[in-house]
Every structure is written in C-alpha cells, then in structure tokens.
Structure 1
Amino acid sequence: ALCVLFDITNTEQAGKVIENTPTTTFGIPCIYPQIPNIPPYHNNAVWPFVEAYWTRASAKVGNTKSVEHGLASIIRAASLFLTNKENMVAETGDFMGTEINSDRQLWSVAGNLAMVYRIFLGMDFQPDAVFFKPFIPQKYTGMRSLKNFKYRKSLIDITIDGYGDNIKSLSLDGKLLTANKIPGNISGYHKIHIQMNNEIAQPGGINLVETTFSPETPNLTVSDSLLVWNSIEDAKIYRIIKNGAEISKTKDTRFRIPRSDHYSEYQVMAVGKSGQQSFLSQPVSVVSRQHTILMEANGEDISNDYPGFYGFGYIPITKQKNKNVNFPVYIPRSGKYALDFRYSNGNGPINTNNKCAVRSLFLNGRRIGAVVFPQRGDRNWTDWGYSNSIPVNLPAGDHKLTLEFQRPDENMNYDINAALLDQMRLILLGYE
C-alpha cells in the first residue's frame, strides 16, 4: 500500500499490486501465507489501520472492488466490536484469540476516520491548499455531510452527493470553483458542496483467497557430514541450500554433505503440496576444527549453574557487570575470519519483547561492528546459540578483541540489556 501511496510503483505496477496481493474474507492480512504455531498478532491477523492504508491505495488506483472490501472490513469490525480494536484474527474475523488487543486503539480510530476524510471526501492536505478527490463506490451512493470541520482559521460544512471516481462540480459558498481545491489561507465559516460524476471507470478486482499456512520450518542439525531434520506435515519435497544457493532436492529427511575444509552454511526449506514454502531453517555451520579458534569468556562472576555451556563456564554481561570483555588472540596466518559469540538469553520469548542484548565489538581499539544477542526463550537460559557473525580481516600476530557496552548499544527496554556469554569463535573463511 505504501509503495502505491508514495508513487514508488508506476501506474501499471500499482494496479497489479492491488489486484494480485492475497486478500482474505475479513481483510488484507499483515502477511501471507500465515506462519504455523505462531499466535495471531501480526501473524494470522488483520489490522484496521493497515486496511485503511490498503483502501486508500485501492482508491488511488481506482479499484472499486478493493475499496468496497476494505470499507467492509473496517466498518464490520467497528460495528460488531462496538469499538475500534487493534486487530482481529484473519481466519475468523474476531478479536477473540489475538495475542494482544485493546479498545479505542488510536491507529484503528484514525484508520476508520480516514475512510471519511480520505476516501468519501478524498481530502489531500497540502501546505497551500486542501485538494478533493473522492472515491465513492456505487453501493455507497447518496448524500453525505460533514459539519463544523475545522481547517486552520476556518469552519466548514461539507456535503457530497452521488457516487463515482471523479468530481463533476465543486462549489464554495454557492460559487463553482474551476479547481477541486480550497486555498490554505481561507478563514471564517464556509459551505462546500461536491457533486460526483456518478461513474466508475474500472470496477477492478481482488485476489480473494482462504487463510492458509506455510509449512513448518524444519529443525536442522548436522553430525558427521549428515544433515538431519524433522519430517514436516504436508511437505512434498525439501530444498537443500548451501551458502545461499540450492544444491539439491530430496523427499528424505537427511542429506549427506561432502567433506570439505572450507567453511559452509547449510539450510533446509520444506515445500508443501500446494507449492507454498516454509522459512529456511536456522543455518548450521560446517567447518573443520583445525580452522576454528575458540576463546573462553573471562570476567566477573564466572558461573556454571545453567547446563549446555562449553569449557569451564560462562559470565553474565549486563549494563553493570562485564561491560568490557577482552579476548586476546594469536592469529598464526593472515586471513579472513567470521567472528561470533556463543551465548544464552532467557530474558524473553523469541517472538516479542525488547530485551535483546547489544554490544560493540572492537579490534585493537577500533570499532568493527555491533554484536546482537537475541532472546532465545522466556526464562530459558539453557538454550545456547550464536550471535550474528562479523567478517574481519586479521593479519598474522597478536590481537585484542573487545566486547563493550556503549550508549549506542541501548535497546528499547533500556533497563535489561543482558545475556550469558560462553565463548568467542573465530572461523577461517580463507587465507589472504
């Protein structure tokens, strides 16, 4: 919708976007297809304010069918719920079952009001004028009025008659105007009457589909050059991805990979019988031990209470403790390395909240990037994994890598910016 409203698409593209984007019975979903085993919020949900943007974009391209569907989605929800809810379940059109919701949600209220101001009246507020370009489907034909509309230094009563995609005439205080706008410096009390053309050039169409779900994301592991993953219901085939490119397809749930001294990442995607694809699995790294350097995290409050760590233990990194963690490392041969950190973060679930830990990474005193430690499960401190990877060129010799908390590393939570740090890992990608 925003691509259409901000003219990122050309005219032909805009029309195709509105006609072809999947739309469900109860409105335009945030995403399509839906993700299995994720409660309705952004997933499997229709948001009235998103629907409002979509309806405005539909009016801009003149797609009556899409405008009617958008208006129905917003008006139906507000009428049945007796308030402007934040969202509703895409499958049922009901607010019951959503993960989070609220009454009188401001952006839903704004979206509902926009259907009057932006669609039925077609108001476009510019610095020097208000332009009018209403779009009224024939099903909504009739006389409408908006009284005591305050615009800058003026108070305006507006009436609009008929239906259509263009204005036949617009009068201000009984005087016909040559342009469909009023000046921005207008003041005092005024009356505007708009007569529509009672024509729709193109009825348009929508891609009305059922609410469907993509296949589950495979859970991939690797052991002794064998990729293994769980069987996915309704999957007809699995795509094997190496370093971002497909290398094979299989109906099996295991795949033998060739042995190699070079670092590689593998992922698996499930393809359903309908052709819908799952997300790519979490990547697994395949690298020889001789090309990997592991460094234990050392600092204040070394602990081993939570199982699953490597080595002798782990340390907490918070805004108060271990704000600077140093890793002295010797590089025997110059090369390009991928650098990441093994950690756990049980401060929240994987799908919401704002307690991701963030740190700056320094190489010999020079900042080279940000390291991110996302939440891995609410109060689940035994789920260990790796941070994002930072590529770095390291000449042979001694170096000091430092993980440091700085002001730019604040997260949205502000109070909690913490994780448990186990190891730093350097993986050789290639010699210089």
Structure 2
Amino acid sequence: MLSVVMMAALAAGAQGDVWRDEIAWRGLEAHMSVAKDGRFTLTGPFGRRDIGAQRMHAETASPMFDGLFALAQDELTQDSVTAIRDGAFDNGQPIPCTCFETGAEWPYVWTRDLSYSIDLGLWKFDPQRSRNGLSFKLSDVRDPAQPQGRYVMQDTGSGGSWPISTDRVVWFLGAQHLLDDKAFAADVYKALNDTLAQDRQYAFDPGLGLYRGETSFLDWREQTYPAWTASNVVFIAQSFALSTNVLHYQALQLAVRLAKEHQDAAKAKHYEEQAAALKSAINARFWRADRGMYMSYIGGDGTPYDTYDLLGTALVITSGIAEGESARIALANYPTWQAGSPVIWPERSDQPIYHNRAIWPFVSAYALRAARAVNDPARIAHELRSIMRGVAMSGSNMENYELVTQATHVDDGKLSGPVVDSPRQLWSVAAYLDLVSEGVFGLAADGRIEPKLPTSLVPTLFGDRDSISLHGPERTITLRLPHKLRGNLLIADTIKQRGSETVVTLKAIDQPSLPLRTGAPLYAPISPDAPAIDKDNKGWRVEEDGKVVLYADGQRVGSIDGGTYIAQGAKPPCVSVTRVDEHGLESLHSPTVCGGEPVAIDDSWPRTWVAPATGRYRVWLRYENNHGPVNTGVTAAVKMLVMHCGNEAPQRVPIVMPHSVGEQSSSYGVVAAKAGATCRFELEQGFNMSDLSHFAHYTGGKGGSEGPLNDARVGDLIITPATGTP
C-alpha cells in the first residue's frame, strides 16, 4: 500500500525535493538532524542551531518539519519574559510584565503584534501570559474632564496615532480566545463596548458605511501609500482600509456573541445590524471586479486604488465576509512568487525592501488559513513551504524576507533590505506553531479537528509511514492515510477517540483548484504629479502632462492625453490621475486637487455661515500641528465640529488634524444645509491617545508623562459644495 501511496502523491504534484531532512534553495542548503533524546540540530547558511526537546512534539517523516516546530517553541520560550522595555516609555527602563516580548530586536509589547500572535495560537501555549500582555494594552482615561471608559490602546504611529491608525480593534481577535477567565472576560466586554462606541463616534463614515484609518500593520506610509503621504497623512486619516474594516467587523461579531451571553438582546441586535451593514459595505466598496480582488484601501470619497495586500485578502476570507466564488477567486488572483506570497502587490520601484518586496511569515500564516477556508490545496502547500523555507534557511523565525530570494538581506543600493528585521519575532513564531497545529493537523480554535492536507505534501510528512502525530501535554492527534490516495486534498473521513489520542483517518478528494498566479508584473508605475484644474466658458478643464487616467469625485472618468473637460454643472470637481503601464496596472493616485474657490471663514468661535443653496457641503479646517513628527507620537489633534442651522438638529463631524509639516488641511466631513439658512459652527474637544492613562508612561514625545495634549493651531474654516454621492 505504501508504495502506491507514494507514487500517487508524487503524481499529485509533490516536488522532487521532499524536504525531510534538508531544504535546498538558490544554491544553499539547510539540514536538520534529530537525536534519540528528541534534540535537534539545524545547520545552514546562518551556521548551527541546537534545539532542545520541547513539551510538544510532532512525529512525522520529516525531521525538518518536526525540528522547526521545536525551534518555534524554543523561541517562544525566549520571547517569554518578566519585564519589557522600549526607549519611548519610562525612559527605556524595564517595565514589569509577565508576558511575551515582540522579538529579539523589539523587547516591548505592541497591540497588533501581540493580538495577531495570540490569534495564531499563542493562547493555547501560554494563556496567562497572553492575557497579561493583552491587559497591558488596555487603559482607562487619565483626564477626569473626558468621558470615562476602558479602551484598547492604539500604539504610537502615523501622524500622532489614532484615529489615523484605527486597527487597535485587532486586540479583540486575540482576546476572544481567552474568555474562560471571568475577570478578563469582564474587562474584554467593557473594552469592547467602549472602544467600538468611540470608533463609531470618531472613525465611522455613515455615508460609505465604513471605518476610516490606515491599513493594519502596513504602517510605513511611503511603502504602501502614495509618496506624497510621507509629509501629509491626512489622506490616510480620511481613507478606508480593507483589513481595518474587517477587524471592526470581527469585533462587532464578538460583541453580538458577548451581548447575547450577557442576555442583552437589544444590544446584540444593535451590533448585529452594524455588522451586517459593514459586511455589505465592504463587499460593495472594496471588491474590484476587473481584477477579481479586494482592494487594500480606497480614498475618502470612495476612489478605487489599484493596490492589494495579502493580510486584508486573507482576513476578508477567513472572517466570512467574502463568500463562495468571490473568496476563492480573490485568493487565486493574488500573485505568488516561488519563494512565497508578497504582503503587498504590486510593489513600489522607488521604495526599499520592508513591507515592499517582502514576505512576512505571519501574513503567510493567515493566507494559509484562507487557503484552507476555500479548500485550495496548491495555495496551502505554497504558503506552508514558504514559512518552512524561511525559518530553515535563516535559522530563526525572522520577521520578514525579501520576496524573490527569501533572504534576510539583499544589497540593492538605496533600496536594500529588509530595512528592519528581527530574529524570533513573536508573530513569526506563532505562524510556525499555527502551521503545525492547524495547518497540518487541523486543530481549530474551537477544538474541532479538521485537517485539509494537500496530497503533494504526503512524501514530505508521511514518507513511508502510514500515520503522523502531534503530541501535546494533554492530547495527541494522529492522522492516518487512507488505503487509496486519489485526489489532491486529504480531509477527515473518520475520527475516533482512544483515551487522550484522537485518531483521524483521512480520505482523499479531488478538489477543483485554480492554479497559483505566477508571472505577475512586479512593479506598479510611478504616480504622476497632480493635474491642474480651471474653469472657463466650456466648463471645468483638467490638464496633465501626458497620458493618464482621470478620476473625478471618486469615479473613474477614463484615459486622457494632455487634457479634457468635465461636465459637473455648478459644483467644482475634485480630481486625481494615475498612470497605466503596458500590463494594465495603474499607479497610485496623484494628489487630489479641487476646482473652485471655497468659502473661508476665519474669526472667533462660534463661526457663522449662510448657506447659498440647498445641498450637501464639505467642511474642514486649515491647521498646524507641530507636536510631533509625521511618523509617530500620540498627539493627533481630534475635534468635533458641530453645525447648528436654525431649528434643525445639530450636525456633528469629527475633524482629525495629524502632525503636520507647516499648515495644511484637516480631514473633512459632510453636512447638509438649506438655502438661506444661517449656520453656526462650534469646535468641541475630542479624544486622542494621550488621554489614556497608559500614556503617562510615554517619554518619547509630547502628550505623555507631561500630560494629555490634544490641540492644534486652527486657521480658516473651509466650506465647499460636496460632489458625488455617498
């Protein structure tokens, strides 16, 4: 039987290099040997790594697979600490915390790193340390004048942190696995209600039905956003990211579940309606039919961007937002290279290697989960091999690798990189642990065992064996091969419990699978400069140097060469342009420019304005916020602009003023007014991360140990007719 199994597996697409005790890659080799006492030795381009026996062990035909599992546990032990530190907190002094540090080069705890790591399975290895780390990222409010609550922290970041970056809700992705502790569960429910309410108030756009903010984890602006955001992140604050919206959807789903457990039917219904509406908006706004993919982000007016990221794609599938054929196609259309899948696509030819031109193992682990969700054996095998190869060739669970070589450094002049990297990076460690427990042995978060193993991996994992096992302190999972191996995917046939051992007999099925997308172009074109726009007796004329694609008010107008007129009636349009290459790929957009002369009101508050016509108006402020650099801090100025028009109900729009380089325009909101109405504007204090008690320990900039700071120098109030439809 075994020879037949081997022949069938090889015929199903197994590689000649079966990766049992060695992996060869680009002229280099890594070798794994195992001793009788369970110790492993890994040798490769990095040198030698001795790995002790661990409390959990995999028993397969591949010492490489088993040894790398031991290595991940060893590195998790190294990441398990009793104190953390960061130069921006408590002046770099140790902070007691029995928790996980982020990596060899990052001895601190960050919200997104920890939360993704826990969701990838660290909650199973050390639940108390996981809870401690998550609790460290919760905070109450230190300013008694502010509304009190329990909030998840957004770490220091773009333009002064939240609400430019809004992916702090990823915290709940990790916390959902640890609710068996009653005190922690009570904290989770309180923080969930308060954080969701605050994000709804300051980051939610009711017109598009989406949450504003930066892409999750892709927080080096120039790497993924237009180059001009390097010195002005207001566009990011105004835009909508796929990954961040999916995380809000998942937080809302958890809120539904917990509200029901608290027997609060009204609140559960409230969250259920919000989640359903958000799911619909994500599918309507981010799906790009001409690409068969979900866009990474869109502009504040809904302008589509021809850019994609693997984490957002994976999350939209694993969350259940993408369903059926759209989920299968979205993953199949996301490009791959031999070494793995890039975290963004297309790449930027003018940026160094980091998020750009890179593989990140934790993202590959989520792509592996997405591949399992859509039963794609080729993609499962591809992501699994990519994660294994990276660890084997580098000797550690590195944070990231260059895309083509999977090296930890490529010399490419000013584009060399990865610019930043770290051994035993926590979410990379978690990625390998998840690859073993769920990716191969099918152990789901709820305890179910649902293996989905490509037959192409049978020679690697089974060799001439008929079973493989995962041994834990309290449970063993054994997978047994079927007598016949005809098909491309192994799934559970029968599951039997024998004491502490769960024995799963597999069966092979032939799963329709789209081929991996290889040979995609690597780079997008460079963005063009902003167009010029003027009005003459023919209408609004847009001019650009050369051939570009024109967008107006969130909609694609089409290709132009030099210039064209836009028929927009009396309302001045807002336009941007892109370039298209020979492959049909579009660049990121130029800066947006708007026609017309907006009304500028500059006097003391409250400020008064008479509406010239009935309609919708865009409102924003000119401002300067010099309280920190564009790339970090916690002092984004956040206000609430309130408009009173006669007896009409007040209209409230959040205004975000990130750290700036000189004077610039804030984020905008949209209000409605009737012709001739006298409207009064007031500017109320909002909320930012410096208001949280936790940031009293922040010594790396303003708004920290010296007290909260939520302020900017405010200039003109700008009002212009709003164009397009929400």
Does TM, scored on the shorter chain, surpass 0.5? yes
Q: 1:138 to 1:259 in 2, by over 3 A?
A: closer
> Which of the numbers 638, 643, 648 marks the counterpart of 1:358?
638
In structure 2, the partner of 1:67 is 380
Higher relative contact order (CA 8 A, sep 6+): 2
In structure 2, the partner of 1:165 is 490
Q: Is the contact made by 1:220 and 1:230 (CA closer than 8 Å) also made in structure 2?
A: no
Identity, in percent, stands at: 22
Q: By how many angstroms is 1:118 displaced?
A: 0.8
User: Structure 1: which 5+ runs fail to align?
Assistant: 174-188, 232-236, 299-325
SS in structure 1 at match of 2:477: strand
> Which of the numbers 421, 424, 427 marks the counterpart of 2:717?
424
> Which of the numbers 405, 424, 440 marks the counterpart of 1:120?
440
Q: 1:297 to 1:102 in 2, by over 3 A?
A: farther
Q: By how many angstroms is 1:360 displaced?
A: 0.7
> Which of the numbers 606, 610, 619 marks the counterpart of 1:339?
619
> Which of the numbers 329, 335, 340 marks the counterpart of 2:608?
329
Q: Is the contact made by 2:638 and 2:687 (CA closer than 8 Å) also made in structure 1?
A: no
Q: By how many angstroms is 1:248 displaced?
A: 5.1
Distance of 1:422 and 1:223 partners within structure 2: 25
> Which of the numbers 415, 427, 439 marks the counterpart of 1:107?
427
Once the two structures are superposed, the pairs formed by residues 166-205 of structure 1 within 5 Å of their partners are 166-173=491-498, 190-197=500-507, 201=511, 205=515
Distance of 1:58 and 1:397 partners within structure 2: 56
Distance of 1:248 and 1:145 partners within structure 2: 57
SS in structure 1 at match of 2:448: strand
Amino acid at match of 1:331: V
Q: By how many angstroms is 1:207 displaced?
A: 0.8
SS in structure 2 at match of 1:197: strand
SS in structure 1 at match of 2:423: coil
Q: Is the contact made by 1:27 and 1:69 (CA closer than 8 Å) also made in structure 2?
A: yes
Say whether residues 1:370 and 2:654 are aligned partners.
yes
In structure 1, the partner of 2:602 is 296
In structure 1, the partner of 2:519 is 209
Amino acid at match of 2:460: Y
In structure 2, the partner of 1:306 is none
Q: 1:293 to 1:132 in 2, by over 3 A?
A: closer
Amino acid at match of 2:429: V
In structure 2, the partner of 1:262 is 571
Amino acid at match of 2:574: E
> Which of the numbers 94, 116, 121 marks the counterpart of 2:407?
94
Q: TM-score, normalised by structure 2?
A: 0.45
Q: How many residues align?
A: 368
Q: By how many angstroms is 1:116 displaced?
A: 1.0
Distance of 2:448 and 2:673 partners within structure 1: 57
Q: 1:264 to 1:62 in 2, by over 3 A?
A: closer
In structure 2, the partner of 1:144 is 468
- Report the aligned-residue RMSD: 3.5
Q: Is the contact made by 1:219 and 1:281 (CA closer than 8 Å) also made in structure 2?
A: yes
Q: TM-score, normalised by structure 1?
A: 0.72
Distance of 1:12 and 1:65 partners within structure 2: 17
Q: 1:333 to 1:367 in 2, by over 3 A?
A: closer
In structure 2, the partner of 1:402 is 682
SS in structure 2 at match of 1:359: strand
Distance of 1:105 and 1:40 partners within structure 2: 18
Q: Is the contact made by 2:636 and 2:688 (CA closer than 8 Å) also made in structure 1?
A: no
User: Structure 2: which 5+ runs fail to align?
Assistant: 1-313, 410-416, 536-540, 696-702
Q: 1:245 to 1:259 in 2, by over 3 A?
A: closer
SS in structure 1 at match of 2:580: strand
Q: Is the contact made by 2:655 and 2:666 (CA closer than 8 Å) also made in structure 1?
A: no
SS in structure 1 at match of 2:367: helix
Q: 1:352 to 1:34 in 2, by over 3 A?
A: farther
Q: By how many angstroms is 1:110 displaced?
A: 1.6
Q: By how many angstroms is 1:273 displaced?
A: 2.0
Distance of 2:398 and 2:574 partners within structure 1: 43
Distance of 1:429 and 1:16 partners within structure 2: 36
> Which of the numbers 587, 592, 595 marks the counterpart of 1:286?
595
Structure having the higher helix fraction is 2
SS in structure 1 at match of 2:372: helix
Per-residue CA deviation, residues 163-220 of structure 1 (Å, 9 max, x unaligned), is 85123554433xxxxxxxxxxxxxxx62334443366555652112356122222221
Q: By how many angstroms is 1:238 displaced?
A: 0.8
> Which of the numbers 433, 451, 475 marks the counterpart of 1:133?
451
